[in-house]
Structure 1
Amino acid sequence: MAWIILIVAGLFEVVWASLLDSTRGFTRLWPSLGFLVTLAISMYLLSVATRTIPIGTGYAVWVGIGAVGAFLVGVFVKGDDAGIGQVVAIAGLVAAIIAVKLTAA
């Protein structure tokens, strides 16, 4: 169950990271509130997951989900450019996240 909670925490990280530019430096109310609420949920779920999962493993997976997810949202939702080098690097990050999960005790 802790791994499911960690994945959900990572998905909330994708949301808050993707909202960050919409806050316009925290000058826009609703995006800023969305950012803060999803950040709090993500952090809380991470703390719950790391009651069972070692902090180093949990944090690495959480950050990886957030980084890959925010990259994908940027490319597919916000129209960010992505070169082949970035795609290869993100694929390497995905492989590293999977390796961390598979080698976790």
Structure 2
Amino acid sequence: MEADLLAYTYLIIASLFEVLWVLFLGKSIGFTAWRPSALAVFCMMLSLFFLAKATKDLPLATAYGTWVGLGILGTALLQHSYSNNQLTTQSWFCLIMLVLSIIGLHISMQR
């Protein structure tokens, strides 16, 4: 139980760094701006590090699916909050379905 809690903590941290690297990637102008490019690469490395730590105690499909799904969710919500790209009703529906899919994956993959 305690190992799973630590694994989920690592997974959440990995997902947060994934959102950060995607945001810095968007500001890197195709890796031509060095500061956001360096931050993107640094966050990528941290994201993969924490994902690897999470996969020690979680099934790979569960960890990877959650990592990608939370990255998509976080990126979409930040884009909605801080840019002119507002989410439509259809987008919100898809994000809710994504969250339900992640939950379903966790339920179906329990050991």
TM-score (norm 2): 0.89
Aligned-pair identity (%):
30
Matched, 1:26 2:22: no
Greater relative CO (CA pairs within 8 A, separation 6+): 1
> Which residue among 67, 76, 81 is the counterpart of 1:71?
76
Range with bigger deviation, 14-23 or 39-48: 14-23
Secondary structure of the equivalent of 2:18? helix
Query: Equivalent residue for 1:51?
Result: 56
Secondary structure of the equivalent of 1:80? coil
Query: Equivalent residue for 2:103?
Result: 98
Long gaps (5+) in structure 2? 1-5
> Which residue among 50, 61, 64 is the counterpart of 2:66?
61
Long gaps (5+) in structure 1? none
* CA radius of gyration, larger in: 2
CA distance in 2 between counterparts of 1:40 and 1:30 reads: 16
> Which residue among 75, 82, 92 is the counterpart of 1:87?
92
Computed over aligned residues only, the root mean square deviation of the Cα atoms, in angstroms, reads 1.1
